[in-house]
Chains A and B, each alone.
Chain A
Amino acid sequence: MTEPGISRHVTDTDWDVTRSVPATLDGRHDAPVMTRVVPHTDRQAPELRHDQSIACLVTNGLNAYFGDRHAVRDVSLGLDLKSVTAIIGPSGCGKSTLLRCLNRMHETVPGARTTGSVTLDGERLYGDGTSAIAVRRHIGMVFQRPTPFPTMSIRDNVAAGLRTRGAGMPSRSDIDAIVQDALRRAALWDEVKDRLGTGAIALSGGQQQRLCIARALATNPRVLLLDEPTASLDPASTQHIEELVYELRSTVTVGIVTHNMQQAARVSDRTAFMLDGELIEVAPTNTLFTSPRDTRTESYITGRFG
């Protein structure tokens, strides 16, 4: 493709839209997003973003295994408060597994286990007496493919997480308010407000994914984890979700796994690069994509492998 290392927007081979548009920088999906992202990432002071004290979700020496397979190796990473942290890397590098350790979903796979620590605002997620159920109520997750509950209406889908909160179900009017708020935050309200009682399965793929984001937000989590949330969506829906993620950083800490470097560049404040289960480098997004310290990072972002 183009000369490596010139700009993060033209070196990527992973981005479907730009591949079909000859002049990438003028590509219709890239241009508007770039103008918005660049000032933002420039605004970040790198020293501040590295400061561990404001990190909301922190892993320390985290290892994850599937049986004998060592999928995540000694990762220490912080997801900062009210910011978006992207985790990138080639397929099979352990980035999804790492994400799934953060809300204890990893252990739902038979034979899977973890060592090391994960803390949420200083509280140990893997400590004695901390239940995985409680952890997941504070740390929401959205998956690669949209997963609306097919038997439930749009409204019931969004409210699905509320009924798990121990202290009884909120009143009907409270639920309506929570549902509306969550759908607004997920930028879906205007499209579905007239058909909240209809089945969620009738929505388009992109709408279903935003519904899943709304469902995760309804319980007011402190952290939202997104595992390749746009991998199964078309470019227009992808852009919609990316704009949404960008908005969400003001209210919730976001961790997003993607193997689309363009996406990481557009939506995240910090980016972590993983390879073979190891965390190679983590830096403010702008820095990581323009002047990576590690040669492996540079090789990856310039499209030499992966």
Chain B
Amino acid sequence: MVTLTYLAAVLATLPLIFILFHIAKLGAHSINFDLFTRMPQPVGEPGGGMANAITGTLILIGIAASVGVPIGVGAGLYLAEHRNSPLANTVRFLSDVLNGIPSIVMGIFAWELLVRPVGHFSALSGGIALGAMTIPLVTRTTEEMIKLVPNALREAALALGYQRWRTSLVVVLRTAMPGIVTGALVAIARISGETAPLLFTAFGNQFWSTSLKQPIAALPLQIFNYAISPYDEWHSLAWAGALVLIGIVLVISIAARLATRQRFGAVID
């Protein structure tokens, strides 16, 4: 039995190792300074990079985080502090449903909401589609983390003459903060590689654009476009782009790990 669990544990990490190894093998030789600083070149011209797609992905992540994290943390705080109210139970259930919605549907939602009325694709609509995907993840981690805060701390704050809102913000939220930050970063890592919600929202852009109102390039879209093209240079650029995308996710994950270390090395008991 123990041997089997060992085996399962090793098998669980194997896909990641294979993917990393394979992508590194095919993409590493295209990783250079130009990749990060230069624009895509037309077919046949050597060099060229993915500066627009890398910037675009970072912008989309930024929009998603600033939309999804505040809403998610607020909702999680509400769920934790009003555990059994009918509204809390409803919100909790719907949040779980939202978590299970296919990402392409989230894209359609953002398209309906922001693209169709305006008449063209935009970075904002892509960011909001991604942000909506982070909301249920952040909500549930926030709720779980806040539930771990001992009730005695709430009582101590109330007994000092803290108002309820101040108790929630200054004591409860701050105590749960490392866990919440981790949850938010994990959610952002999850959505940073999403392609489907961007197909008809951010759309992709062959040119440099940082405008929120214009279509914007994104690494996953660029990788897809290059990968289905018949050109070898574009194929290797696609592998390099995949490596960069994994690198971004890795950096966010490491940041999430570091965030769990509390300021005073404290452990909630």
Output the least CB separation between B77 and chain A (Å): 16
User: Which B residues from 151 to 172 make CB contacts under 8 A with A?
Assistant: 152-153, 155-163, 166, 171
Interface of A is mostly: mixed
A4 on interface, CB distance cutoff 8 Å: no
Residue of A137, A147, A164 near B166 (CB, 8 A) is A164
**Across-interface contacts of B153 in A (CB, < 8 A):** 147, 149-150
Residue on B nearest A144 in the bound complex, by CB:
B152
Segment at the interface with A among B102-110, B236-244, B259-267? B259-267
With A147-B156, A151-B263, A202-B264 as known contacts, state yes or no: A164 contacts B171, CB within 8 Å.
Answer: no
B155 partner residues in chain A, CB cutoff 8 A? 105, 108, 143, 147
User: Do the beta carbons of A150 and B161 come within 8 Å of each other?
Assistant: no
Cβ of A215 within 8 Å of any chain B Cβ, yes or no, is yes
Taking the closest CB of chain A, its distance from the CB of B63, in whole angstroms, is: 29
A225 to chain B: closest residue by CB: B159
Known: A164-B166, A199-B265. A149 touches B158 (CB 8 A): no
Residues on A with C-beta less than 8 A from B265 are 199, 201-202
Judge whether A216 is part of the interface by a CB distance below 8 angstroms.
yes
Given contacts A151-B174, A199-B265, contact A103 B166 (CB under 8 A): no
B268 interface residue (CB < 8 Å to A):
yes
Specify which of B156, B161, B163, B177 is in contact with A212 (CB 8 Å cutoff).
B156
Whether the Cβ atoms of A136 and B160 lie closer than 8 Å is yes
The size of the chain B interface, using a CB distance under 8 A, is 24
Pairwise interchain contact B161-A160, C-beta atoms closer than 8 A: no
Residue B175 interfacial (CB < 8 Å)? yes
Known contacts A151-B266, A199-B263, A199-B265: does B161 contact A133 (CB below 8 Å)?
yes
Interface size of A as a range:
20 to 34
State in angstroms the CA–CA spacing of A199 and B166 once bound together: 21
Within 8 Å by CB of B159, from A105, A145, A198, lies A105
A199 touches B160 (CB 8 A): no
CB pair A201–B160 under 8 Å, yes or no, is no
Bound-state CA distance A137–B160 (Å) is 6
Cβ-defined partner of B177 (8 Å) among A134, A145, A151, A198: A151
Residue in contact with A108 in the complex, picked from B158, B171, B174, CB distance below 8 Å: B158
Residues from chain B with Cβ under 8 Å of A145 in the complex: 152
Question: Whole-angstrom distance between the alpha carbons of A150 and B176 in the complex?
Answer: 10
A103 to B162, CA, bound (A): 13
Q: Which residues of A contact B267 (CB under 8 A)?
A: 201
CB within 8 Å of A: which of B66-124?
Answer: none
Q: Complex Cα distance A199/B263, Å?
A: 8
Q: Is A134 a contact of B161 with CB atoms below 8 Å? A: yes
Q: Does A141 count as interface, using CB distance less than 8 angstroms?
A: yes
> Are the CB atoms of B174 and A105 closer together than 8 Å?
no
22 pairs, CB–CB < 8 Å, chain A vs chain B: A103-B159, A108-B155, A108-B158, A133-B161, A133-B163, A134-B161, A140-B159, A143-B155, A147-B153, A147-B156, A149-B156, A149-B174, A149-B175, A150-B153, A150-B266, A150-B268, A164-B160, A164-B161, A164-B162, A202-B264, A212-B156, A219-B161
Task: Give me 6 other A-B pairs in contact (C-beta within 8 A), A164-B160, A198-B264 excluded.
Answer: A133-B163, A141-B159, A143-B156, A151-B174, A151-B175, A199-B264
Closest 4 CB pairs of A and B: A199-B264, A137-B161, A147-B156, A141-B159
